[in-house]
Homo-oligomer: A and B are copies of this chain.
């Protein structure tokens, strides 16, 4: 792939904005029709007409009634560095039948210095039809932002929402780990999944690259292959282990482990639960503990959890305990997690009592076998002893709904409002350059989002306001807001040397997301039959939408 010198590195108020995380995000990450349209606009002399596009979705994903907005930072990074290379220009020219050479000069000249982006803050709870982003600028350029922006926002928002939903069902006290790299839809699916799952409320990822790029905590221990790569304890040559305080050395840690295994086997309360454990597993655990005495966490289901994995783990953990180390816990990757985690917890409690090892019963239990919202919900209902969930496939591929349907619609050009009609009323676009507000009620919950025309006076605290459903004429409500929040803030102002919002660090966006979702009225958040959050338009905008609709729709002829 050609190296991109990150375009013009446009500065705003002296700041340089880095390019997108993925260097493959270039102006050519685009549908061809954006370029054919750019050419047709240019041929018609329309390319510089001032246009306003709204980016929004029509339906919340996963049968829920909320969505987390994510991907904004990558969009801003993309447009801040938007510039076609000479090779890209030649490729575009050769792809357009009959393209005039002068169009290349146009492409050479374009960047986002005349584009403005207003957006809801990343990490916010957002709702259908309300613009997440309003993009203004020359129609030829803004059209070229459609596909990349949709690509960068759709999956980001979808997976952040999925993560938030998993957090909701798991509860605040559980540790949530994203383990999706191997099953994600491509390398970028993996890396951006890690980023946006963290944003949506996860605690850590297994993905090392994501940890390095975004500073996300990373987690991981060992796999089944590690366990089965050992044959027997004889393989362990270097058997010495210093105690945790460094004051003494156990010369034969292997023997210590074996002693403990025998003690467990013949302890009064555990007698008869298991006989011979798998020796390659015992060798693997012992070896792993020698490598990570301070961070011993073992995968216990390679052969048999209760007959082999758990006794072997306890023998190693107790040997470590003798030397002053505290094992972290175990991971279960198969079987009935409710049953097994409870059995394992009992076993740990027996060890604690039997051998008087304080807190051994609180040993961490991680579960990680094809988990999703439903299985965690089912585990909660059955009762379980899992402390941490490692979630992969269903989380990162958004298995229960693999796409969010954000669209990018023209709402105004040359100060003329535009509408896109459809036989399906949910697909009719809301015309005009708009302002959007979130109105809060007495209890502090958001009550309704409202869109108004650009020049309407903003809603005022304590003043009664009529909120109308944009398409259903009988759905109306008066609202007296206790707080009014303007949703769309300026995140990009082209070359204008005016203030704009900073791009906050990931940690801040994550906090916003968690706080916003905690402050939603609980009935919007529940998994089963949640109440839709209301999205409305002002009375004036309502009237205008319907005037324009009738104006544009052809009238039928009955004969």
Size class of A's contact patch?
35 or more
Query: Which of A123-131, A220-228, A496-504 lies on the face that meets chain B?
Result: A220-228
Query: Nearest chain-B residue to A179 (Cβ)?
Result: B31
Question: Within residues 211 to 238 of chain A, which ones have a CB less than 8 A from any CB in chain B?
Answer: 211-213, 218-226, 228-231, 235-238
Choice from B23, B31, B189, B212 contacting A91 with Cβ under 8 Å: B212
> Is B183 in contact with A186, judged by CB distance below 8 angstroms?
no
> Is A183 in contact with B403, judged by CB distance below 8 angstroms?
yes
* Min C-beta distance of A482 to chain B, whole Å: 38
> Is B275 in contact with A557, judged by CB distance below 8 angstroms?
yes
A532 within 8 A of B: no
Query: Which of A167-175, A202-210, A512-520 lies on the face that meets chain B?
Result: A202-210
A398 within 8 A of B: yes
Chain B residues with Cβ below 8 Å from A451 are none
> Is B188 in contact with A187, judged by CB distance below 8 angstroms?
yes
> Is B403 in contact with A554, judged by CB distance below 8 angstroms?
no
Given A212-B91, A295-B97, A29 and B288 touching (CB < 8 A)? no
Q: How many angstroms from the CA of A557 to the CA of B308 in the assembled complex?
A: 12
Q: How many angstroms from the CA of A350 to the CA of B146 in the assembled complex?
A: 38
Given A43-B287, A222-B33, A276-B554, A334 and B228 touching (CB < 8 A)? no
Given A182-B147, A302-B421, A402-B402, A334 and B427 touching (CB < 8 A)? yes
> Is A206 in contact with B393, judged by CB distance below 8 angstroms?
no
Question: Within residues 34 to 58 of chain A, which ones have a CB less than 8 A from any CB in chain B?
Answer: 34-37, 39-41, 43-46, 49, 51, 53
* Min C-beta distance of A451 to chain B, whole Å: 19
> Is B287 in contact with A187, judged by CB distance below 8 angstroms?
no
Residue of A155, A404, A559 most packed against chain B (CB within 10 A)? A155
Q: How many angstroms from the CA of A235 to the CA of B23 in the assembled complex?
A: 39
Chain B residues with Cβ below 8 Å from A155 are 184-186, 189
> Is A186 in contact with B151, judged by CB distance below 8 angstroms?
yes
Query: Which of A105-113, A409-417, A539-547 lies on the face that meets chain B?
Result: A409-417
Which residues of A are in contact with B by a Cβ distance under 8 Å?
Answer: 1, 3, 20-26, 28-37, 39-41, 43-46, 49, 51, 53, 88, 91-92, 95-98, 139, 143, 146-148, 150-152, 154-156, 159, 179, 181-193, 206-209, 211-213, 218-226, 228-231, 235-238, 272-278, 280, 287-288, 290-295, 301-304, 307-308, 334-335, 393, 397-399, 401-406, 408-410, 413-414, 416, 418-424, 427, 552-557, 559
6 A/B residue pairs, CB under 8 Å, sorted by A: A46-B229, A49-B229, A95-B211, A148-B187, A156-B186, A303-B421
Nearest first, the 6 closest Cβ-Cβ pairs linking A and B are A32-B220, A188-B188, A33-B220, A150-B182, A397-B402, A40-B291
